[in-house]
Structure 1
Amino acid sequence: MLKRIWLIFGPVFWGLILAVAIIFFYPVKIDHSQLSELVDATSLTKDNFKSGDKKVRALSDPTLHFVPFFGSSEWSRMDKMHPSVLAEAYQRSYRPYLLGQRGSASLTHYFGIQQINSQLKDRQAVYLISPQWFVRKGANASAFQNYVSTGQIVDFLQQQTGSPYDRYAAKRFLRLNPDTIFTKMMEKVAKGKTLSSSDKENLVLQAKIFEKVDVFFSQFRFVNHQENIILPQVEQLPRKFSYEELEKIATQDGQYSSTNNSFGIEDEFYNKRIKNQLNYIEGSQKNFTYVQSPEYNDLQLVLNVMAKNHTDVLFVIPPVNSKWAAFTGLDLEMYEKSVAKIKYQLQSQGFDNIADFSKDGDKPYFMQDTIHMGWNGWLAMDKSVNDFISQERPAPTYRINDTFLTKEWARYEGDPSQFQP
């Protein structure tokens, strides 16, 4: 009987011993490793996305200039013209640190930024902002829950000051993730109340636990896109950099990879995701709108924290595949209206660095699938990104306008320049 009990509970006991050992005895220090950081920068795993240790280590490395690239699922489209491939192939002065997963949007990135505020101060960042994020209901709850970590929540709670932005962020958190051990603290923040001394002590303990566990598990890697995807792609590019030559290769790759459909979509994506669903998809997006969404308020959270950190940001706005939009009935005038609203929110507050590709969805081999850039699209983006990061420019001057945090702005459908809250 004792043997049977041990077989059942023994692993649990040793698991608890290991956890306690990690919490109390595992050393916390930053050991820079270019190889490890390059692997982390392109791994695109959920664990990497949530880890504070991996991001801080790479973004604070003085020998490699990592630049955070915020976005969503587009970063996984790793063809020869992908930002990480070109940066590696031509030994750019920077390396992209890819932050984004399917379903991640501004609220997810806002909480992720809590871990790297120090690494964003007076630095640069690239933020791909897709109009497809701006659906009526805003961020997807399951995706948000999947990507937010204990460390991010603790960092947010420890840094909150009772501002309208803190209150709004806490309310959005509770709406999308209402049942956590931090719910009562989030409710206090949402109501503008001060956290108690016991709350703060609890947060200190939680921070120490997360930091130890995060550092321990950061040493393990199960995905190596750097070795398996990035470097093999690099070997296929010309050694001498030339946009003209790269455009030829991008066009050839696009032609070769999209032969089985009339949309210019990559063959494998078409076969897996679209081919058997055409009858259901045709006309399915005719009632879509990206003009009214809480995502505009979530974006304001990001803009406010970027302004506080004096982060110089290049915003990239991708297009949608024009042929696909025509097939699904997506209203491109509505799409352009949402882009105009996004750009007004950015530019009126001093975020003037915008690479707008929203009208390029009909260009040959610009889109790899229905909504994600690839081939010539990546190359067009690279011209803007490389110029932004490589060229010296005056520090930005931001003018944060809190009215963009209101429900009235999220619901506004008129001329953005005429908005009156």
Structure 2
Amino acid sequence: MKKPIFMPLILAFIVLIVLVIIPNKWIESLIPKNRISEAATQLNPFMFQGKYVQGIMLEDPKYLPIYGSSELARLDRFHPSNYFQVANDGFTPFLVGRGGSESLIHFLNFSEHLGELKGKKIVFVLSPQWFNPNGADESHFVPNYSSLQGYDFAFNNTLNPEVKKKAIKRLLTYSSVKDDPMLSTLYKSEISNNPWTKEEATLVRPFALAYRSLLEKKDLYYTFAGGTKRGRDISPTLRHKTWHQLELEAEQYGAVRATNNHFYIVNSQYNNIKSFLPSLKNKNIHGSYGKSKEYGDFQLVLDVLKQAGAKPLFISVPVNGHYYDYTGFPKKGRTDYYHRIKKQIEAEGFQVADFSGHEYDPYFMKDTIHIGWKGWVYTDRAIKQFYNGNDKKLVRLN
């Protein structure tokens, strides 16, 4: 006898309804107790785009959140997550970010956890490449954007209204926001004086709240499922070594991994670019990171952290000077960025570990743009000083 063709659809619908009506507390009770510690180095995008894991992490004093982008995934032995596990300095780094996680993405994330950031020490790694003239483009913003954080932002009534309006105007330039009819209606009502726009938002609000509830439940299910463990290089030999000894070891470590080029780029990365390297010669003679929309986006990050009462340490990462000189990227276009970003951070009373003086330092960078072995040693030192309370004035490391 032929099975009813609609039976699988009916069963799927019933399962969906069950999953939706299960109380959140029940799902939370099923989440393994070690899920937060597992997530600390998994760099799981579902965690970045959710709020459950980060909310618990921020309330636990043993975690030191480190926010950034693609450099966080380079888990060599000098990386903060690996070094501090060996050094056992009383805290566990918790990594938040991946490639394309630029200022606006972090701003939405921080806005999500405004109350939990009060008094919390955090580390924020800056990449000069974010500060191209147009700032974050669609290809970087869209994959990292969180609908849950976007909807929570719409209903956030604690954030400074002026900061919120500036952010909304910027967010509405991206397709994942402006093409969402409910969310864009809510956002537009915040920045418009049009009575009809306000009325539309009133009509949409109950449906938006219901959708946000579904997104929260989805976050819990993803948390229950967990992420994938990443490979790490944890070296117990680093324990009890002085910073000078660590610096020398990092140089030696890099020296045997960057042998086939004069840029001090790790061999595997150089092999990926050497075939088209001649085409990059003097390609960026008009380049500059001194002027960018990203500065406005970054100011939103500073504003929300200041309102939250967070205690951030910013890591100002240099570029690979040898490579940037080869591509013709002007020195001024780099130094303008270093000076401007440092001034912008310090104007808000925050601390910055400025490593801009290490552009030409061998093995400070791992490739053309990412901090590497020796760079991580300097970062580890700055983090340790900051965490131990020396956050009023960091030892000059540049």
User: Is the pair's TM-score, using the shorter chain for normalization, greater than 0.5?
Assistant: yes
Q: Is the 8 A contact 1:158 1:203 kept in 2?
A: no
Deviations 1:154-206 (A, max 9, x none): 21011146822212211111101221141211222232676844444334322
Q: Does 1:297 align with 2:302?
A: no
Q: Is the 8 A contact 1:286 1:329 kept in 2?
A: yes
Aligned to 1:299, what secondary structure does the other structure show? helix
Aligned to 1:22: 19
**Mapping of residues 354-393 of structure 1, within 5 Å:** 354-391=352-389
Question: Aligned-pair distance for 1:244?
Answer: 3.1
Aligned to 2:213: 208
In 1: Cα distance, 2:248 partner to 2:297 partner: 39
Deviations 1:88-107 (A, max 9, x none): 11112222221111111101
Question: Aligned-pair distance for 1:301?
Answer: 0.8
Q: Does 1:308 align with 2:313?
A: no
Q: Is the 8 A contact 1:167 1:191 kept in 2?
A: no
Question: Aligned-pair distance for 1:393?
Answer: 5.3
Aligned to 2:191: 190
Question: Aligned-pair distance for 1:46?
Answer: 2.0
Q: 1:286 to 1:192 in 2, by over 3 A?
A: farther
2:125 is aligned, of 120, 128, 131, to 128
Q: Is the 8 A contact 1:103 1:140 kept in 2?
A: no
The amino acid of 1:342's aligned partner reads I
Aligned to 2:269: 269
Q: Is the 8 A contact 1:162 1:192 kept in 2?
A: no
**Mapping of residues 4-403 of structure 1, within 5 Å:** 5-6=5-6, 10=8, 12-28=9-25, 29=28, 35-61=34-60, 65-160=62-157, 163-177=161-175, 178-181=178-181, 182-191=183-192, 196-225=201-230, 228-229=231-232, 233-272=233-272, 274-351=273-350, 353-391=351-389
Q: Is the 8 A contact 1:32 1:58 kept in 2?
A: no
Aligned to 1:403: none
Q: 1:192 to 1:299 in 2, by over 3 A?
A: farther
Question: Aligned-pair distance for 1:26?
Answer: 4.2
In 2: Cα distance, 1:132 partner to 1:14 partner: 49
In 2: Cα distance, 1:380 partner to 1:394 partner: 18
Q: Is the 8 A contact 1:317 1:355 kept in 2?
A: yes
Deviations 1:51-102 (A, max 9, x none): 211211222235xx11221111111111110010011111122222211111
Q: 1:119 to 1:16 in 2, by over 3 A?
A: farther
In 2: Cα distance, 1:205 partner to 1:394 partner: 45
In 2: Cα distance, 1:285 partner to 1:293 partner: 16
Question: Aligned-pair distance for 1:343?
Answer: 1.7
Deviations 1:242-261 (A, max 9, x none): 32332232112101111111
Q: Is the 8 A contact 1:104 1:144 kept in 2?
A: yes
The amino acid of 1:50's aligned partner reads Q
The amino acid of 1:175's aligned partner reads T
Deviations 1:256-281 (A, max 9, x none): 11111111001111112x12111221
Single out whichever of 12-21 and 274-283 deviates more from structure 2: 12-21
Unaligned runs of 5+ in 1: 396-421
Aligned to 2:342, what secondary structure does the other structure show? helix
Aligned to 2:60, what secondary structure does the other structure show? coil
TM-score (norm 1): 0.84
Unaligned runs of 5+ in 2: 394-398
Aligned to 1:257, what secondary structure does the other structure show? coil
Question: Aligned-pair distance for 1:240?
Answer: 2.7
Aligned to 2:396: none
The amino acid of 1:365's aligned partner reads Y
In 1: Cα distance, 2:37 partner to 2:318 partner: 29
Aligned to 2:290, what secondary structure does the other structure show? coil
Q: Is the 8 A contact 1:111 1:153 kept in 2?
A: yes
Q: Is the 8 A contact 1:32 1:61 kept in 2?
A: no
Percent of paired sites with the same residue: 29
Q: 1:280 to 1:254 in 2, by over 3 A?
A: same
Question: Aligned-pair distance for 1:340?
Answer: 1.3
Aligned to 1:114, what secondary structure does the other structure show? helix
The amino acid of 2:385's aligned partner reads D
Question: Aligned-pair distance for 1:40?
Answer: 0.7
Q: Is the 8 A contact 2:261 2:267 kept in 1?
A: yes
Q: 1:394 to 1:138 in 2, by over 3 A?
A: closer
Aligned to 1:416: none
Question: Aligned-pair distance for 1:124?
Answer: 1.1
Deviations 1:292-334 (A, max 9, x none): 2111110111111101111111111101111101111111222
Single out whichever of 22-31 and 39-48 deviates more from structure 2: 22-31
The amino acid of 2:212's aligned partner reads A
Question: Aligned-pair distance for 1:379?
Answer: 0.2
The amino acid of 1:80's aligned partner reads R
The amino acid of 2:185's aligned partner reads K
In 2: Cα distance, 1:142 partner to 1:17 partner: 37
Q: 1:275 to 1:166 in 2, by over 3 A?
A: same
* Number of positions where the alignment pairs a residue of Structure 1 with one of Structure 2: 383
In 1: Cα distance, 2:210 partner to 2:254 partner: 52
In 2: Cα distance, 1:31 partner to 1:242 partner: 44
Aligned to 2:237, what secondary structure does the other structure show? coil
Q: Is the 8 A contact 2:258 2:265 kept in 1?
A: yes
Question: Aligned-pair distance for 1:138?
Answer: 0.9
CA RMSD of aligned residues (A): 2.4
